[in-house]
Structure 1
Amino acid sequence: MRTCRAATAGKLTVVLATFVLTLAACGGGPSPRAWAASVCEALTPWRAEINKLTSSTQQQMTAKTTPGQAKENLVRLFGGAEQASETARRKVDEAGVPEADHGEEISQGFQASLGKVRDAYGRARTTIGGLGTGEPTAFYDGVRAAVDTLNKEYDASALDTSRLSSEELKKAFDEVPECR
């Protein structure tokens, strides 16, 4: 009797697993409009934070501070940008995969781009954190080099949308109020 129950339970598990996989394969992701709204809700505060941090970094680069103060401030600023980028990446991940042409690729592309930005800020934070502050000229040269590298990595992280087009998502991003 135990064998029969175990076999039935095993078959039921396989049937339920197949049913769940079938449902997942048939969609169930957010509509293009809902996904676009979620993505814009994730990116809007991220953009604002990055703009604020960029402005603060520029001010820090021209401020009359000691190398030690500049190092502390820049490490904090880049750490904030790194965290803001990860928060945005995580929220895009949590938005799911939109039910749209190339939805999986587009969602992954957004996440990968934000991950590259996060990593670029993290490397800049680590590089500046490792600079010595005893010689101001050498310190600020190191900071400039780190910021130049950051800018190049940031530019290279841009999402290539030429291959990932979805008319449904383009329309959704144009229409939802969260993206305006």
Structure 2
Amino acid sequence: MNKKLAVTLSGCATLVVLTLSACGGDGGDDTDEWARNVCEQLQPQVERIEAANAAITEASEGNRSAEEVREADSTAFQDVSDAYAALADAVDEAGDPPVDNGTELRENAVTALRGLSDSYAELKESIDGLDTSDQGDFAEGLRDIAEQLQALGQSGDEALSELQSGELGEAMSRQEGCRGPSASASASPEEENGE
């Protein structure tokens, strides 16, 4: 059951980067500068989220005790919560993007990111409260958490999709920190050489 949790979190964790990097095109200098400010802060947080994914995946493999799984997942949820809070701060500190409805876009994104941070903090509390002495109850608790993660992914996607639209989305897609995770590292040397 923890494998389902790992897969679900992995899908949610890359959400921000995928959402912010969906567009391409040309934009103005002010918009590019705003996007650069945000995207410079994005990459470290995405790496933090990816590390949390890896920890959950590792905990779900092998014959880990329920206590070990709970501890790894709890730490990972806290890390993801902290990363989303840092992303909210980065967007907020960048100020209003220089596009139509910039204030609304910033406020909506900050609210969504803070909401995701709060939700992951709640998931940490939920996993911390699971009884590891009964494997059946623990598995049921993990199933409930996995369902909450799926809902989080959907709501986060909807809330952040506005940032990827139009000129702002185009400017963000040109910034290294807002490109998909490991976009340049995903091709193996064989693929790069056409083998």
TM-score (norm 1): 0.72
Residues 1-180 of structure 1 correspond to what in structure 2 (within 5 A)?
Answer: 31-160=30-159, 167-180=166-179
Distance 1:164 1:52, change over 3 A: closer
How far does residue 135 in structure 1 lie from its aligned partner after superposition? 0.7
Give the letter for the 2:69 counterpart: A
Structure of greater Rg: 1
Write out per-residue CA displacement over residues 127-179 of structure 1, whole angstroms, 9 at most, x where no aligned residue: 01111111122112212211221221222122456767864323422434443
Give the letter for the 2:97 counterpart: P
Secondary structure, counterpart of 2:81 in structure 1: helix
Q: How many residues align?
A: 151
Distance 1:161 1:65, change over 3 A: closer
Distance 1:136 1:176, change over 3 A: closer
TM-score (norm 2): 0.67
For residues 93 and 172 of structure 1, the distance between their equivalents in structure 2, rounded to whole angstroms, comes to: 17
Distance 1:124 1:78, change over 3 A: same
Greater RCO, 1 or 2 (C-alpha within 8 Å, sep 6+): 2
CA contact (8 A) 1:113 1:158 kept: no
Residue aligning to 1:3: none
For residues 64 and 164 of structure 2, the distance between their equivalents in structure 1, rounded to whole angstroms, comes to: 47
Residue aligning to 2:24: none
Distance 1:60 1:32, change over 3 A: same
Give the letter for the 2:105 counterpart: I
Distance 1:167 1:134, change over 3 A: closer
CA contact (8 A) 2:32 2:171 kept: yes
Q: What's the C-alpha RMSD, in Å, of the aligned pairs?
A: 2.4
Secondary structure, counterpart of 1:134 in structure 2: coil
CA contact (8 A) 2:88 2:113 kept: yes
For residues 77 and 161 of structure 1, the distance between their equivalents in structure 2, rounded to whole angstroms, comes to: 22
Write out per-residue CA displacement over residues 30-73 of structure 1, whole angstroms, 9 at most, x where no aligned residue: 92111111121222222222222123212212331221222122
For residues 159 and 53 of structure 1, the distance between their equivalents in structure 2, rounded to whole angstroms, comes to: 23
How far does residue 123 in structure 1 lie from its aligned partner after superposition? 1.6
For residues 134 and 160 of structure 2, the distance between their equivalents in structure 1, rounded to whole angstroms, comes to: 44
Give the letter for the 1:55 counterpart: A
Give the letter for the 2:59 counterpart: Q
For residues 48 and 77 of structure 1, the distance between their equivalents in structure 2, rounded to whole angstroms, comes to: 12
Structure 2, gaps ≥5 residues long: 1-28, 180-195
